[in-house]
Each structure stands twice: as C-alpha cells, then as structure tokens.
Structure 1
C-alpha cells in the first residue's frame, strides 16, 4: 500500500462559479478546478453527487432520480460543447455579468437556472435534429443511445412520465402498472428523444 499522504478538496459542483456559467457551476468550471489541482499538486477533488435530479424547487444532490444520468444543470453551454447550440445564442447569453445571470452571483436559483438551461438545450436539440450540418454526427448519437441500452430507455421513460404526471414520486402517478406507464410514454417519442 502506498503510504504517501494526499491533500484533497471537497466541493459541490454547483458552487464552482465562473464567468458565463449561466447561474450554476458547470463542467467547464470543474475542468478549471482539475487544472488548478494538478498545478497545485492537490491529490484529489471530491464532488457531491452530480446525477440527474428531480424537479424540486431546491433539489438535494442526494435526491437523484438516476444512478447513471448526469444532471443537465451542470452542462456547460458553449457552442463547442453542445451540438446544435448556435453561436448567436451563446453570444446573447454568454457575456452576461454574474448578477444578470439566472441566479445572480451568490445563490443558485434552481427553477430559474433549470428553465434557462432547458430552453437553451431544447433549441440546440431542435437545431441538432433538423439542420443539415449535424447529419454527420446524428448516427453517432443514435449509436450512443443504442450502446446505453436499458438504463437510458428506462430513464427517459421515467422523465417523460414525471413531466406528464407532474411529479417524480411515482406512487402518486395515476398509472401504477409499469407496462401501461411505458405504453403511455411511448406516445411522447419526441420528448423521449430530447431526454436522451
């Protein structure tokens, strides 16, 4: 066993604020912290969970609705990270000052940031699926979906049903039978594709 002692930093991803983060810490900010840790010879960075969260007003990182899916709030919204995100949208939103962003400079306003980011991501998805310049990478997306198998299909079905029934508390849903619930979700293929 290696007896070398290491120093580390524990941090929640939502607190790693940077310019152009759109109101919450994101994966670009995490990359900056990884670079800092390497330069400072910090042995590890420990994060709070970054899994997909429910739609609660102030979700806890410990109330994830998936053990696999990443929370979309943490995605960096730059054109070079999200296929279909237009440079125009980035330029309109990317230069906002911290107090002009959905949360302001100090606290994360989860409902505002979620609405803001999902609006931008939905626009990027619409571009990705319809514009000819993305036709070349659409097969890679479809292959990724296939590789992810049953966890992804169950997750997107759950997402659609949560939105449809207004809660992620499945025992409050009007439909309790899993097979019937999947049949209901099958009518929302476009929403499922966006969730994928």
Structure 2
C-alpha cells in the first residue's frame, strides 16, 4: 500500500476463528483505528468488523515512526488480543500459538488483501458490499446494514459518527 491512496483492506483472523465475535475485541479494533486517525496517520472512510475478519476502506496518510499505519494497526491489535487472552482465556490463547522465530502467537492471517480504490464509483461499490455483509444469510447479524453497530453503515445513513474516527468520502473525492 502507498501513502495517499485509498484501499479496501481485508484482514482475517488466523484459521478464520471467530475471535472478533466478542465485543471487547471489536473495541480493540475500533480503539486502534481511533488512535491512528487522531494521530493523523490514516483516514477511515468505511469499515465493518465481522466475527472472523474486517474490511476497512482507508487511506494511509503518514508513517507511524518507521512503519506504515496498517502495520502498526495489526501489531497493536495483536498485542492487545494476546494481553487480554493471557489474562482471561489462556486456553483460547494457545489456539493462536505459532512456532515463529519472531513471535509466539499469531492472530491475523498473513495474506491481508489491499485493493486500491480508483474512483467514486468503485468506492460506492465497495462500501455497499461491506455494509451488506452483516445482513447476508451466512451471517445474519442484523436485519438491515445500519442496524449492525460495528460498521460505518449508520454513519453514511445518518451522518452521525458514533466512533469519532470516520471521514465521509465526500470530503476526499
């Protein structure tokens, strides 16, 4: 990913486990996004947090020290997942144990996908796609996109930013 470009970014929990089913782990994701947005490292235009993956439409604005903001996001959320699981659910933590030289636990799959968003038409298509995932038959997390709390759908319908980190795409395009 390049600074100053908008991407649809998809990251999946290792082995598609439902770690993000828990509201406290969804809040870890939200808090990390909030921090990086307020430090002006990224802009978030849309998102959805599903039980086993996330979709973010974001723009990386500036490096966070020596690393790109998405790397900081992945590292920080992993650290907090590990910290909480070590304290509250060591058995679940063991499901994320890996035999890597650089780490003991691995929460996000290595193959995160970033697709550049080149136009407002593509943006609207991607945004509609991610907002509709929670209502799909497979998930059934809400009856309507705006009813699913862990998404930017309500923001685009009402203009109210419950999370205090979203930027409406009209401010960018």
Q: Same fold (TM over 0.5)?
A: no
Instruction: Name which structure has the greater RCO, CA cutoff 8 Å, separation 6+.
Output: 2
Q: Tell me which protein shows more strand as a share of its residues.
A: 2
TM-score (norm 1): 0.28
TM-score (norm 2): 0.30
Larger-Rg structure: 1
Q: Tell me which protein shows more helix as a share of its residues.
A: 1
